[in-house]
Amino acid sequence: MKPIISADVDLLKRRDLKNGYFSLTFGPFARAKQCRPGQFVHIGFKQSSVFYRRAFSIANTNADDKSLEIILKVVGRGSKQMADLRIGDSVNFLGPLGKPFTLPNKKQTPILVAGGVGYPPLFYWANHLIARGWDPKRIVFLYGGQSSPDIVDRARIKRMGVKFIPVTDDGSFGERGRVTSPLVRALAENTYESPMIYSCGPEAMLKAVDQIGTEFETPGELAMEAPMPCGFGICLGCIVPLRAGGTARVCQEGPTFSIGTVKL
């Protein structure tokens, strides 16, 4: 018989990251150890103002205390409901779900490109790579937002020791412009050995990253988002069209896709 992969967990820790961002840590989650960056949990609420479950990328896990962290921005009723949870409140986790990022080879330089709310899985990915022996200084972390408060959790990113390149539209923090500018520059100038892109963020940004990766013939993976009624492949509501024809389910064949595969 198959294990049932839904489990009740409690909210253990809640941090206000300002500007509508929150970090929520849940546990104990027996499957914390099986989680991989790029994957998500589909969260069901006990008392809910929304009908569906809500999918959230995993932002970190701790195998020792079996906890799992989610970082979210309040953008709608589902994320509001999450942000309103209090310590001790219980929710139901279904997961981990979806296809994780694939590891680069040791020669490659991982370039993480995060835009706004796309930051959490890349934070997890950087942590995971470091834990697996990657030199933090060889991990490039591009992180873009509209303005300084959109670049959340900076202290933790700095503490990881990665090559952190923040970018804001208005130049209030880090470089002024788009997060794709330093990416193009690095690829054009061959700054890093065998770059491998990992990106998550708004669709317009992913589209730009996909184009850049294709133009510079640089491999990479994009973590996509889609409204997910079921989260595990049975409703066919979350599909994206593929370049090669046909469709793929974001929750099942994704949420990570190789650059060049999805028609963005």
Partner 1 sequence: MSKANNKPDMLAQKHMITKSKKPKSKTPKTKPDLSVEIAGYRFKNPIWTASGTCGYGEELDTIFDLNRLGGIVTKSITRQPRPGHPTPRCAEESSGMLNAIGLANVGVEKYVAEKLRFLDEYDIGVVVNVAGFGFDEYVEVCAMLADCPRADMIELNISCPNVSTGGIEFGASASDVERIVKAVKKVFPRPIIPKLSPNVTNIAGIAKGAEAGGADAISLINTLIGMSVDIYTRRPGLTNNRGGLSGPAIKPIALSMVNRVYDVVDVPVIGIGGASSAEDVIQFMLCGASAVQLGTALFIQPDLPITVERDLKKYLTSQGLTSITEIIGKIEKY
Residue ranges binding partner 1 (CB under 8 A): 1-2, 4-6, 44, 50-53, 94, 226-227, 229-241, 246-247, 252
Q: Which is nearer to ligand FES, 41 or 139 (CB)?
A: 41
Give 85's contacts (C-beta < 8 A, 6+ positions apart).
Answer: 11, 14, 24, 91
Q: Which is nearer to partner 1, 165 or 240 (CB)?
A: 240
Number of helices followed by number of strands (H, E) in the chain? 5, 16
Output the furthest CA–CA distance in the chain (Å, rounded). 55
Cα–Cα distance, 109 to 246 (Å, whole number): 32
* Other CB atoms within 10 A of residue 244 CB: 9
Cα–Cα distance, 262 to 264 (Å, whole number): 6
Backbone angle region of 190, left / alpha / beta, with phi > 0 → left and psi within -120 to 50 → alpha: left
Shortest Å distance, C-beta 119 to ligand FES: 23
Q: Which residues bind ligand FES (CB under 6 A)?
A: 228-231, 233-238, 249, 251-252
136 binds, among partner 1, ligand FES, none (CB under 5 to 8 A by kind): none
Cα–Cα distance, 198 to 246 (Å, whole number): 24
6 binds, among partner 1, ligand FES, none (CB under 5 to 8 A by kind): partner 1
Shortest Å distance, C-beta 230 to ligand FES: 3
Question: Residues 126, 138: contact at Cβ < 8 Å?
Answer: no
Shortest Å distance, C-beta 239 to ligand FES: 7
The token duo for 93 is 């986790």
Q: Which is nearer to ligand FES, 79 or 252 (CB)?
A: 252
53 binds, among ligand FES, partner 1, none (CB under 5 to 8 A by kind): partner 1
Question: Residues 66, 27: contact at Cβ < 8 Å?
Answer: yes
Shortest Å distance, C-beta 174 to ligand FES: 35
Q: Which is nearer to partner 1, 69 or 253 (CB)?
A: 253
Q: Which is nearer to ligand FES, 12 or 239 (CB)?
A: 239
Shortest Å distance, C-beta 114 to partner 1: 24
Name 71's bridge partners: 23
Shortest Å distance, C-beta 103 to ligand FES: 25
